[in-house]
């Protein structure tokens, strides 16, 4: 990645960490998590494509590799959160929680785990975003992504309410990130002259989008049913808090978008326009659901919607500049004429 996007990200992060307050930190967190999930989701999709040797990876490989290379930029943008834990996590501002979890929820331990996860993701992104096919790196990536994303989800999302923990939450958010990253790559591919042909790549992308959409829906339903059957007050309170004042986000936006995406993706032979609609719906679903999971546990008053939008737009532009710089460093044309795409699956 070129130096300019990293310098801009560092400047923005240091400014937010030193001059911002609780409201800015609260607006920063969901935007940062969305970008992190797109980058890590791109690594996961690349790993699946490399490991299976699927033909559908070829047309979306360039944007996925560019997104995978943005983990260092995401690490810089994480500084306001890592330095402002007291604004975002009650355990960091007050007395440490009781019990064994006290050892985990210490600011220095949180920061060390975050640095370790970001370093692992950056190394995996670099290893997979190279010309050629890398099945061994892909296998290692899948083996490391599950525990690191689950740990990161507990730290960055669930620890805002330490009375409730769902073992499927981290995996669910990672699968959503896979769907969002693939959807974003499909939308970006035509801009790079790499749109999938009707006869090559398109059927595989259709099946991948449908599979990921159904997996997200199943994980949502499974988590809800498990909490309902367990009948534990602290777990029920987590859902009730979100279904009270924030129910419109999940029931009025995220769930309808996911169901519409699945309905559009189910019939075969999508065509370009229908596939684009499926991708946009998956991105809307992911952004809305992530906000629904993160925001209700804010320890301070929610920031103004204008601040949320401004921070999300600013971080999105910085991340987009990082993606563009990564593509400029290794243009798709060079890969198309060389050995950048794995061979189609056989047998």
pLDDT tens digits, 269-293? 778 889 999 999 999 999 999 999 9
pLDDT > 60? residue 345: no
Full domain range(s) for residue 247 = 3-96+103-337
- Position 347 in a domain: no
In this prediction, residue 98 carries a pLDDT of 72
- Position 344 in a domain: no
Number of separate domains in the chain: 1
In this prediction, residue 198 carries a pLDDT of 52
- Position 66 in a domain: yes
Please spell the DSSP secondary structure of 83-140, one letter per residue: H-HHHH-HHHHSSPPSSTHHHHS-HHHHHHHHHHHHHHHHHHHHHHSSSS--HHHHHH
pLDDT > 80? residue 337: no
Is the separation of the CB atoms in 239 and 227 below 8 Å?
Answer: yes
- Position 145 in a domain: yes
- Position 346 in a domain: no
Give the global pTM. 0.89
- Position 70 in a domain: yes
Give me the half-sphere count of Cα atoms (radius 13 Å) on the Cβ side of residue 342. 25
Map residue 197 onto helix, strand or coil.
strand
- Position 201 in a domain: yes
pLDDT > 90? residue 121: yes
- Position 75 in a domain: yes
pLDDT band at 134 (very low <50, low <70, confident <90, very high): confident
pLDDT > 50? residue 343: no
């Amino acid at each position: 990645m070129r130096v300019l996007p990293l310098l801009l990200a560092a400047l923005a992060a240091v400014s937010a960490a030193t001059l911002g307050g609780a409201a800015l930190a609260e607006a920063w967190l969901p935007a940062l998590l969305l970008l992190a999930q797109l980058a890590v989701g791109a690594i996961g999709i690349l790993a699946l494509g490399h490991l299976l040797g699927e033909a559908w990876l070829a047309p979306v490989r360039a944007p996925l590799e560019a997104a995978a290379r943005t983990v260092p930029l995401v690490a810089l943008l994480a500084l306001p959160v890592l330095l402002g834990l007291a604004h975002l996590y009650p355990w960091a501002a007050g007395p440490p929680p009781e019990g064994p979890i006290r050892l985990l929820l210490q600011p220095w331990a949180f920061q060390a785990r975050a640095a370790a996860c970001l370093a692992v993701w950056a190394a995996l992104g670099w290893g997979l975003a190279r010309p050629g096919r890398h099945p061994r790196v892909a296998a290692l990536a899948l083996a490391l992504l599950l525990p690191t994303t689950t740990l990161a989800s507990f730290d960055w999302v669930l620890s805002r309410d330490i009375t409730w923990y769902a073992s499927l939450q981290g995996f669910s958010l990672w699968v959503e990130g896979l769907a969002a990253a693939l959807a974003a790559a499909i939308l970006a591919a035509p801009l790079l002259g790499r749109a999938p042909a009707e006869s090559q790549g398109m059927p595989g992308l259709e099946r991948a989008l449908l599979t990921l959409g159904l997996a997200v829906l199943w994980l949502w339903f499974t988590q809800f049913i498990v909490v309902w059957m367990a009948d534990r007050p602290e777990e029920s309170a987590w859902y009730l808090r979100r279904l009270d004042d924030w129910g419109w986000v999940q029931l009025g936006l995220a769930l309808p978008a996911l169901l519409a995406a699945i309905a559009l993706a189910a019939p075969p032979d999508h065509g370009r326009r229908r596939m684009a609609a499926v991708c946009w719906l998956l991105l809307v679903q992911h952004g809305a659901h992530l906000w629904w999971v993160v925001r209700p546990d804010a320890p301070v008053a929610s920031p103004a919607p204008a601040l949320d939008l401004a921070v999300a737009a600013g971080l999105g532009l910085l991340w987009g500049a990082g993606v563009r710089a990564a593509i400029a460093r290794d243009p798709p044309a060079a890969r198309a004429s060389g050995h950048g795409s794995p061979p189609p699956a056989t047998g």
